Structure 1
Amino acid sequence: MAPLSSSIDKHKTNSQNYNADITNFNTMKSSFGGIFRYTGERGLFHPNIFEWLKVKRRDDDVGNYWRVHDKLYNLEDFIQKHPGGQDWIDFSRGTDITEAFESSHFVNVKKVQQTLAKYYVADAKEPRNSPYTFKENGFYKTLKRKAEPIIKEVGMEPSQEATLIQDSLFVAYMILAVLAVWLDSMIFQVAAGTALGMLTVGAHNFFHKKDSWRIFYYDLSSLSSYEWRISHAFSHHLFPNTILDYEVSLGEPMVEMLPIRPKSFLHKYIMPFVIDSLYGVYGLVQVAIRIISLLQGKQKVRLENALVILELVIFMRLAPTYLAGFQAWAIILTASSFWFAFVSNNSAHHHPLCFHDGDESRPDPDFGLCQLDATASKTDWYHQNLFSVLTTFGDHPNHHLFPTVCHGKLKYLKGVVDETLQEFSEELLQFTQWQLFVGTHQQLRRSVTHKFRKSQ
């Protein structure tokens, strides 16, 4: 690898050339002042997560290295050794991975830090392009210390119950899909699609963790587990509801979730209902975007991307006619997409009382507390069982605090979370599912920013 100075200088030259491509999105001002820079290549006209990653590399400005807090590391030789799989280290090259590092490692933390130290290159010269703090006496670090002995005892990997639920959903989908195609029944097709949608949401429990074949359940739905590891785990989870959250910007400029800019009549009163009608096409749109991106050379072909095409071929062979097989495939994917997109958009983040960039930020933006500011908990009784948690993005505040811990084991951490919240005089946002659904529509209309909740 090139020396530190030449690597960063070359990166800065590339960044300067790339600045000309940034859209007027970069005029948006974050709640966190000049520290947070907007990654401009996003939204309807720039929908590719690899473009977002390219801009993040430019803004983090660490050359071909990896940044953790205020130090730079050369993890090139660690890619193949990473216990969680090589993808996490490989795609994050050239970025600040502080938030990812802190929110992924909860046990044997000192040993992890010693391993990281072996790859130290130099101290960073510029401040991080992130406002979040990880003070030793702050909320998140305190919570991690309290949680470590519990996680050591119960483990982080998928529980038997979570695995059984996920595998059962897969079997249910396969049976329903075969019946749907063979009988040419729309009822079975919708049922198969719903099972696939649940399976897709449940797969989210697996791809936050080390590599496992079960993450590919996600790719059966026409979405991409690899792309979502970047857009969801590396963007949304680390910077929820901020201008660095790729997912919150997917509909821009037609759909404005953040209250940063003025919103037109179309934004406030038409688009919220248009969104409801388009949940079903989300998956097929993602297929189209991926094909365009591949043709443009913006990403490489991955073997798992062929799973959805394999499904189409199988359905066309099983159906009475090729056209019937194609129609069954399309209906199943539409039903799956509706479940996934509807649940995603109304699960936890978009009630108006949740923090959205543009609202007043915390004076001391502790990472853990900022996660909770942007995330709500569901209070309905039917969302308390593990099946619902896995298939509707449930127990979301705890999941954002401990993303690499299995959903089936988060229940063991609720005690220390409540204890730490009480210690810091904080509380969770809690709503019913109906309140979250209504809240999403209210948020889409909101252009008035809020003061920090505790100062109200």
Structure 2
Amino acid sequence: MAPKDNPTDPPSSYPGIWKYPSNRDVPFRMAEDWLSAKRKDDDIENLWRVYDKLYNFEPFIPNHPGGSDWLVMTRGTDITEAFESSHTVNVGVVEMMLEKFYVKDASFPRISPYTFKDNGFYKTLKRRIGPILKEVGTGPTKTILLMQDLLVVTFLALSMIGALYNSQLLSVLAGIVLGFSTIAAHNFFHLRENRRKYYFDLSFLSSYEWRITHFFSHHLYTNTVMDIELTLFPTYQFLPNRPKPWIQRYFSILYSHIIYAVGFWVDIVKRFVHIGMGQKSLRSENLIVLIELVVLIALAGDIQNGLKTWAIIHTVSSYTLLTIGATASHHHPEIFHDGDEGLPDPDFGIGQLDATRDRAENFFNNLFVTLVTFGHHPLHHLFPTICHSKLPYLTSVFQQTVREFKLNYPGIPQGVLAEDVKSSRLLVVYGLKLTVKF
């Protein structure tokens, strides 16, 4: 992607992001801070915005088919991207229901990089996948449920036996399996309310927080300045044309491994510090990892060995998930990052493809591998609330639509996504895009 000539003015590659996100550069923000900032920027009181109309979905919250959390969390924000990408079946009926809750028209333009033209790529693709999904469904299959459950059972067995026999090897294996299980569970917190989303909370991460940072922010505004995931590691500079200290230029290949190992620890410490300071509420699922610790101490027979087992497991799971996540799909020089030239046609679907890539190897089309490595990533970004098990049914019509719109977003080999690529302007270290001036 070619960098813009002037990366600081306007605030984004896309004219639609006409306001720089509030509090974007505040370090150690909570997930809830992103929502608060968006409510401030969208400025629609306690209503919900879809395109240029405001609605009051308060009476509908208990009856929302996907679960009440989705509406409660987004009160006071523009949900256009979430509305479009979440409703893929019986779209006409859903759109007609909006009129029941209409309040008034919005008085100023949306703050968004994207458009949704009826004859554009995304809406065309949505119309085509609707009949397919009506036939096969959008939810998980028995096979994928079994895969997720077996991952959790394997993690629990390895961790408990590891604590019982004070085995570091079993603890490491438990951590690897937990990393895979957490990636797999990410599929479930995207879906309508279900108990398997809490498998995500077996790690130091929070399914509630990731619905905000990963779905509402990263999925809907991928690699733009509205994507909070680009700021979670202040030691990395994902966006092009930004000043970069020498330690970022030359040593990130070394310290990245440390960051991957301690990333979950930073997350859990930050969460409990904010809870302790009264800045956020303790959620019941936040206690799962503490229950794990108590159980492991009881099995180990003493605090030191139980704590060691717990620490090894979560350090290894952190390294596993973050290594896979950083090199999975979003940070190769050919992939859009805000500061690069924006699309002439800012269609939502084309924007997702511009900021996402699939791996070229057929190996990653295996359902289990897809589940534990963030596979089928472009399709997942286009339709995040469809279970990974149903994405293969959409591949043919997706490829057909891509060809008709003359789009060219070929897969990239995993080795290329992860390797170091050096040029006169870019250094890609473990998939992280860093601007370098030689």
Structure 1 distance, partners of 2:107, 2:313, is 52
Residue 135 in structure 1 maps to residue 117 in structure 2: yes
The correspondence for 1:76, drawn from 17, 39, 58, is 58
The reply to whether residue 408 of structure 1 matches residue 389 of structure 2 is: yes
Equivalent in the alignment of 1:18: none
* 1:226 Cα deviation after fit: 0.4
TM-score (norm 1): 0.90
User: 2:97, 2:23 → 1: CA distance?
Assistant: 35
- The residue aligned with 1:354 is 335
Superposed, 1:176-255 pairs within 5 Å as: 176-252=158-234, 254-255=235-236
The 1:28/1:227 distance shift into structure 2, 3 A limit, reads farther
Aligned partner of residue 49 in structure 2, secondary structure: strand
- The SS at the match of 1:298 is coil
1:379, CA displacement in angstroms?
1.5
- 2:121–2:401: 8 Å Cα contact kept in structure 1? yes
The alpha-carbon deviation at position 28 of structure 1 amounts to 7.8
Partner residue, 1:8: none
What is the SS of the residue equivalent to 1:35?
coil
> What do the CA deviations read for 1:198-245 (whole angstroms, capped 9, x no partner)?
110000111111010000000000110000001001100000101000
Q: Structure 1: which 5+ runs fail to align?
A: 1-25, 449-456
Partners of 1:311 and 1:43 in 2: how far apart? 34
Give the one of 378, 383, 407 matched to 1:426: 407
Count the aligned residue pairs.
Answer: 423
The answer for the alignment partner of 1:51 in structure 2 is 33
Q: Is the contact made by 2:257 and 2:319 (CA closer than 8 Å) also made in structure 1?
A: no
Quote the Cα distance in structure 1 between the aligned partners of 2:289 and 2:432.
Answer: 34
Tell me the CA shift for residue 447 of structure 1: 5.5
* AA matched with 1:422: R
Q: CA deviation at 1:43?
A: 5.5
Aligned to 1:454: none
Query: What secondary structure sits across from 1:38 in the alignment?
Result: coil
Q: Which moved more, 1:260-269 or 1:287-296?
A: 260-269
**Residue type of the partner of 2:275?**
L
The amino acid that maps onto 2:115 is T
Supply the distance in 2 between the matched residues of 1:271 and 1:36 (Cα, whole angstroms).
32
The alpha carbon displacement at 1:136 in A equals: 0.2
Q: Matched residue of 1:354: which SS?
A: coil
Q: 1:279 aligns with which of 244, 260, 273?
A: 260
Partner of 1:344: 325
Q: What does 1:53-202 correspond to in 2, within 5 Å?
A: 53-202=35-184
Gaps of 5+ in 2: 1-7, 422-427
User: In the alignment, is the contact (CA less than 8 A) between 2:188 and 2:197 conserved in 1?
Assistant: yes
Question: What's the offset of the Cα at 1:42?
Answer: 4.2
Q: Would you say the 8 A contact 1:352–1:446 is kept in 2?
A: no
d(CA) in 2 for partners of 1:186, 1:76: 51
Identity %: 47
**Paired residue for 1:15?**
none
**Is 1:373–1:429's contact at 8 Å kept on the other side of the alignment?**
no
Supply the AA of the counterpart residue of 1:314. V
Paired amino acid for 2:398: V
430, 445, 448: which one pairs with 2:434? 445
C-alpha displacement of 1:100: 0.2
Equivalent-residue separation in structure 2 for 1:343 and 1:27 (angstroms): 34
* DSSP-derived class of the 2:411 partner: strand
**Residues 179 and 321 of structure 2 are in contact (CA less than 8 Å); yes or no, is this contact kept in structure 1?**
yes
The CA deviation at 1:137 is 0.2
Q: 1:368 aligns with which of 349, 354, 362?
A: 349
Shift of 1:271: 2.7
In the alignment, the residues of structure 2 paired with residue 447 and residue 138 of structure 1 have an alpha-carbon distance, to the nearest angstrom, of 36
